[in-house]
């Protein structure tokens, strides 16, 4: 049983699985046609592939120069990690607060 769970967790990262389920539920709740739901799923998948796809493309297309650029970006992200996380938390908090306030009005 534990081996099966380990294989499952290795194949499907729980964080990614939860994000995908959340996106699927959000798209399904829109009440749009199946083709519009498929379009929404396609946009979700496209946006999800950008995070690993852009650095890969930079690395493959720009070779050594791309490696230097990616190293600089990594250095900046490590240095500014606290600020990046704070801004993301602020954005999520504003979204949740906006949803709560507008939800109370309806």
- The pLDDT of residue 8 is 65
- The pLDDT of residue 51 is 86
Dist. CA 56–CA 67, nearest whole Å:
10
Dist. CA 40–CA 21, nearest whole Å:
13
**DSSP readout, 11-68?**
HS-HHHHHHHHHHHHHHHTT---HHHHHHHHHHHHHHHHHHHHHHHHHHHHHHHHHHH
Place of tokens 């704070």: 86
**pLDDT tens-digit series, residues 30-85:** 889 999 999 998 898 899 889 889 999 999 999 999 999 999 999 999 999 999 99
């Amino acid at each position: 049983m534990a081996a099966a769970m380990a294989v499952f967790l290795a194949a499907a990262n729980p964080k990614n699985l939860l994000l995908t389920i959340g996106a699927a539920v959000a798209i399904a709740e829109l009440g749009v046609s199946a083709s519009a739901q498929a379009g929404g799923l396609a946009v979700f998948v496209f946006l999800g592939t950008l995070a690993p796809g852009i650095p890969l493309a930079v690395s493959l297309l720009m070779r050594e120069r791309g490696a230097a650029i990616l190293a600089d970006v990594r250095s900046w992200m490590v240095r500014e990690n606290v600020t990046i996380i704070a801004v993301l938390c602020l954005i999520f908090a504003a979204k949740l607060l906006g949803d709560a306030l507008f939800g109370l009005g309806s």
